Amino acid sequence: MSLLAARTGDTAGETSPAALIRHTLIQTQRLLLRWARNPITLFETLLIPCLLLIMLDIVVGGQIERFTGEDALYGSVPMVALVGALSGAVAGGVLLGRERDAGLLARFWVLPVHRASGLASRILAEGCRILLGTLAVLIVGFLLGFRFHQGPLAALAFFFVPVIFGLAFATIVTAVAVYTAKASLVEGITILTSLMMFFSTGFVPLVAFPTWIQPVVRNQPMSVAVDAMRGLADQGPIARPLTMTLLWSAGAVLLFAIPATIGFRRASRR
């Protein structure tokens, strides 16, 4: 009897819905413990975003406030929360590639484990990681002066924007991680996240960018997510940026979910 089966008390019927729930929760716990014991993942998820927020507030916060008359934290806090979600997804993708190369995914494949629990647990674990990282960024933001002004429901919605955005990005990272044998290719995605950060409305106001690039900056995925979170926390439009965020996230999932699923299945059967 395998350890997983012994813990669940289920040596048969591993394809049942009840087994899917039990196995997903157990594998989610395994992933969270593995990430918690990995210094790189902890740095990418918690430490680096918090340090980035403090640095932005010290270096450019005052200048942006003098330029716009608004507190820069209402752009930098959402942006850093999103950057933390994306960076953690990349770190998780690197660990996924290592588990594949070490044969761990293949070992789970031959155990009496629900086939869908592997990917389901990663989705659930990513959501937990993003929520924790967003909470850490918000705590630092509160210490710097960030506040919610739109009520508790808007504050709750604020938390779910990074989760939706981060899970969509994690789908892309997973698709890359299960097909490539080189972790450097997964880590190379950080170049894209850096460009999205520097050319977003969370880094500097839209009017600070040259006129010819403003339409790109205004409509790129991170900018619309930042604008939605800014509106939920302080002021500004909500409907358009939130709709755009959902459309960008849905598009990423539709394009990469099937390749990620097929690749994960192939990697597990190696």
pLDDT in tens, 154-186: 999 999 999 999 999 989 888 888 877 565 666
Q: DSSP code of 201?
A: T
Q: Quickly tell me which residue has 């950057």 as its tokens.
A: 83
Q: Give 138-148 pLDDT, tens digit per residue.
A: 999 999 999 99
**Which pLDDT score is estimated for 182?**
62
Q: Report the C-alpha dihedral over residues 204, 162, 188, 108, rounded to 10 degrees.
A: 170
Q: For residues 93 and 90, what is the distance between their CA atoms, to the nearest angstrom?
A: 5
Q: pLDDT-based confidence at 70, cuts 50/70/90?
A: confident
Judged against a pLDDT cut of 80, whether residue 127 lies above it is answered with yes
Of the chain, the end-to-end C-alpha distance in Å amounts to: 23
Instruction: Give CA angle at 216 (214, 217), nearest 5°.
Output: 65
